[in-house]
Amino acid sequence: AWRKHQVKNFEDQDGFEREVVRHVETTLARSLFNCDEKAAYAATSLAFRDRLINDWNKTQQQQTYRDNKRVYYLSLEFLMGRALDNAMLNVGLKDTAKAGLADLGFRIEDIITQENDAALGNGGLGRLAACFLDSLASLNYPAWGYGLRYRYGIFKQEIIDGYQVEVPDYWLDFNPWEFPRHDVTVNIQFFGNVRKTTNDAGKTVAVWEGGEIVQAVAYDVPIPGYDTPTTNNLRLWSSKASGGEFDFQKFNNGDYESSVADQQRAETISAVLYPNDNLERGKELRLKQQYFWVAASLHDIVRRFKKSKRPWSEFPDQVAIQLNDTHPTLAVVELQRILIDIEGLEWDVAWQIVTSTFSYTNHTVLPEALEKWPVGLIQHLLPRHLQIIFDINLYFLQLVEKSFPDDRDMLRRVSIIEESQPKMVRMAYLAIVGSHKVNGVAELHSDLIKTTIFKDFVQIYGPDKFTNVTNGITPRRWLHQANPRLSELIAAKCGGKAFLTDLTNLAKLEQFAEDKEFRKEWAEIKYANKVRLAKHIKTTTGVTVNPSALFDIQVKRIHEYKRQQLNIFGVIHRYLALKAMPLEEKKKQLPRVSIFGGKAAPGYWMAKQIIHLINSVGSVINNDADIGDLLKVIFLEDYNVSKAEIICPASDISEHISTAGTEASGTSNMKFVLNGGLIIGTCDGANIEITREVGEDNIFLFGNLSEDVEDLRHAHTYGSHTIDSDLEQVFKEIEGGRFGTPHDFGAMIAAVREHGDYYLVSDDFHSYIETQHLVDEAYRNQDEWVTRCIKAVSRMGFFSSDRCMHEYAESIWNVEPLAPAPSE
């Protein structure tokens, strides 16, 4: 009987409309006359959600039944963006929905934009996790993501009087894409103490007791693959007071307030995403988040493994766990604890299992981002884990001593415990010691970690433990969804939509790079995308920009190492040059729109100053009648995933100009090139591999190389350096009050002039300006420009996150895809 009544998916417009109407009338209990865009969004989402649930259940059943090795991607951040558009495209019924919604009186774009972004991440690291989930599902890998269900995602940014103001992102008021699993809970212990006792077998064992319990509740989010029924799972944990007798006791004793306070304290754990990107501040709540999420996830994974009744030795054959940066490193310790304290395995047997299970991805070399936790804090919060960390360190150092006898400095350098005041646990070292593979995210970055921050570990373990997997992006969201017209044009020339599942098919485009008609269509699409962005700029900032001008875009988190200050100093230089030009010459200049966007961490004062300078410069230049369309400066408020989908298709040039050696990879560089824009960039991160693929003629590189950075910094500090005279001119104008109160920007200038110019802005300024001139010159020849763009796109096949997932699967996880169950 069950089979006979199985839920049927809608297949056509009529079926879709029927489902929408049904959801409006019954699920939402609304009349059709009273169906606004929010309700239409809700009903459309529910209709698609029903489809996903079917595939999702089947996928999970199939994965359980086949019982192959699974991948678990542990990440504190998943920057998913919107789900509806993605679900419609992956299921292949967007056109059907579009027609159906039109029939019901709605424009599909108005419905799609009702959805709040799921913004559970800061930037590149979180968006990478989201792209990986898309690829894993699309390639039919049995994979789960594990994260935290933050009540507040990354803050919303408002610009008020040119300054960033943070507004909380309460995104959960209506979220049809998650399923609370109130039956899937895990009790998580904090604090307490450790007692040693002897068990029945006469062995000394540790018992962690006392402290407090917080409950983790699972919320599941379906992750549909593109053009496949495989629908994977993203499990997000939410924290809740454990309830039970303890609280009732308090309640009955009339201690109502304190029982409510307990509850609120528990819920605080998953309340908010930490908004720092590349800065570690060592807050206790952050450590609590990490353990809460790691312990719940591992409990879940172990529970699933135990159902198969296999011996523990097979755990690494069934489970691969990827640590997305060091944030989940406590998982290494937690699994060791489970195996020795709860399952009774011997240390060495357990440790073998642990290290075969985990692998670790490093995403930054910036010293201020490397996680360290005070020993005292861990002792207090997780007393048993600290003991295990000490033991892991002891055995590790013994091993090191065998290969490096008498090298006491080596032991001090590589110790997981930093002998500082206070003592610190170095999480990256713990992650390396607890993993069988460590990878960087672009070639240069992977080389740098081997020669700098993890150099000693290469000596100890040999080079094979360290590997590179260059980042990638999903072409479904970042081309097909964000740029539907370009996707269609490519499909028409590349033998259909195959490029969306094998991006190397883009190579077929190259033969059309000089084709006049094709170039024209290409340019028209770029223009239309610029018009779309110009409209967005007009409605959000009130500034009119000319879509025929060169659009120069830098959108990413605001950080000194990413050098938005270099960009804005360059803009000022351009403005001064225009102002100084005789009219005749000015008329010959190429109009340009400089577009910025990105959030500053709320506590990052200098980043906020940079935002303020950009806005101040904008308000002067945009209102200067002498300049008109020749130069506009725009700061786009609240850059996020859904805005990126409008912005990336609209660039002529985008900026990826970090100080060489600081940007681990970058991924927006890939998004912009894939959408037919060229880039201006430094020899850093994935820019280097993009250059190798697209060819030096199709990218604008400038600036010093990473191998020279150390010497240049030295020269700043020890006096043999003078600041570029054009840059001095820019500083003088700022100091003269041309862009508002000079005092506001004093620190930015002092950072370059007086404090050693750590990010080498002055060293790269001249090269940057010259290269921007080359961009202008190149852009004047539109035919050649478009040819370059087409060639660049045709050579971007390598940067699909599908390729990344294959590489991880083969060289790190040892997992294979699982063909979806045949549909009945």
Can you name the residues that pair with 164 across neighbouring β-strands? Answer: 159
Tell me, yes or no, if 732 is annotated catalytic.
no
Draw the binding track, 306-325, toward ligand 26V (x: CB under 6 A; -: no contact).
-------------------x
Taking CB under 6 A as the binding criterion, the range among 270-278, 430-438, 788-796, 802-810 that sits at the site for ligand 26V is: 270-278
Taking CB under 6 A as the binding criterion, the range among 38-46, 117-125, 171-179, 782-790 that sits at the site for ligand 26V is: 117-125
Catalytic residue among 51, 82, 235, 363: 363
- To ligand 26V, the closest distance from the beta carbon of 47 in angstroms equals 34
Q: Classify 12 as helix, strand or coil.
A: coil
Single out the residue of 679, 701, 554 nearest to residue 614, CA to CA.
554
- To ligand 26V, the closest distance from the beta carbon of 76 in angstroms equals 7
Q: Alpha carbon of 287 to those of 193, 268, 293, 304: distances in Å?
A: 18, 13, 10, 26
Tell me, yes or no, if 556 is annotated catalytic.
yes
Q: State which residue, 125 or 410, has the beta carbon closest to ligand 26V.
A: 125
By CB neighbour count within 10 A (0-12 exposed, 13-18 middle, 19+ buried), where does 683 fall?
middle
Binding of residue 276 to ligand 26V (CB under 6 A)? yes
d(Cα 253, Cα 395) in Å, to the nearest integer?
Answer: 50
Residue pair 303/351 in contact by the 8 Å Cβ criterion? no
Residue pair 696/675 in contact by the 8 Å Cβ criterion? no
- To ligand 26V, the closest distance from the beta carbon of 335 in angstroms equals 23
Residue pair 290/283 in contact by the 8 Å Cβ criterion? no
- Contacts with ligand 26V: how many residues (CB under 6 A)? 23
Q: Give φ, ψ of 677 to 5 degrees.
A: -115, 150
Considering only 23, 51, 149, 363, the residue that binds ligand 26V (CB under 6 A) is: 363
- To ligand 26V, the closest distance from the beta carbon of 666 in angstroms equals 5
Tell me, yes or no, if 557 is annotated catalytic.
yes
Tell me, yes or no, if 182 is annotated catalytic.
no
Binding of residue 63 to ligand 26V (CB under 6 A)? no
Binding of residue 364 to ligand 26V (CB under 6 A)? yes
Q: Give φ, ψ of 587 to 5 degrees.
A: -60, -25
Catalytic residue among 156, 327, 526, 562: 562
Residue pair 234/223 in contact by the 8 Å Cβ criterion? yes
Q: Alpha carbon of 716 to those of 748, 756, 758, 767: distances in Å?
A: 16, 5, 8, 18
Binding of residue 131 to ligand 26V (CB under 6 A)? no
By CB neighbour count within 10 A (0-12 exposed, 13-18 middle, 19+ buried), where does 449 fall?
buried
- To ligand 26V, the closest distance from the beta carbon of 556 in angstroms equals 9
Q: State which residue, 55 or 325, has the beta carbon closest to ligand 26V.
A: 325
d(Cα 2, Cα 713) in Å, to the nearest integer?
Answer: 71
d(Cα 527, Cα 547) in Å, to the nearest integer?
Answer: 7
d(Cα 312, Cα 655) in Å, to the nearest integer?
Answer: 50
- To ligand 26V, the closest distance from the beta carbon of 4 in angstroms equals 48
Draw the binding track, 651-680, toward ligand 26V (x: CB under 6 A; -: no contact).
------------xxxxx-------------
Residue pair 75/147 in contact by the 8 Å Cβ criterion? yes
Binding of residue 471 to ligand 26V (CB under 6 A)? yes
Catalytic residue among 557, 573, 592, 643: 557
The residue behind tokens 């010497």 is 711
Q: State which residue, 122 or 355, has the beta carbon closest to ligand 26V.
A: 122
d(Cα 407, Cα 15) in Å, to the nearest integer?
Answer: 73
Binding of residue 135 to ligand 26V (CB under 6 A)? no
Tell me, yes or no, if 23 is annotated catalytic.
no
Binding of residue 287 to ligand 26V (CB under 6 A)? no
- To ligand 26V, the closest distance from the beta carbon of 564 in angstroms equals 14
Tell me, yes or no, if 4 is annotated catalytic.
no
Considering only 262, 280, 652, 764, the residue that binds ligand 26V (CB under 6 A) is: 280
DSSP H or E segment with residue 147: strand 143-148
Taking CB under 6 A as the binding criterion, the range among 256-264, 274-282, 446-454, 754-762 that sits at the site for ligand 26V is: 274-282
d(Cα 570, Cα 176) in Å, to the nearest integer?
Answer: 45
- To ligand 26V, the closest distance from the beta carbon of 487 in angstroms equals 24
- Tell me the catalytic residues: 363, 556-557, 562, 667, 671
What does the binding site for ligand 26V look like in residue numbers (CB under 6 A)? Answer: 122-125, 128, 274, 276-280, 325, 363-364, 369, 441, 471, 663-667, 685
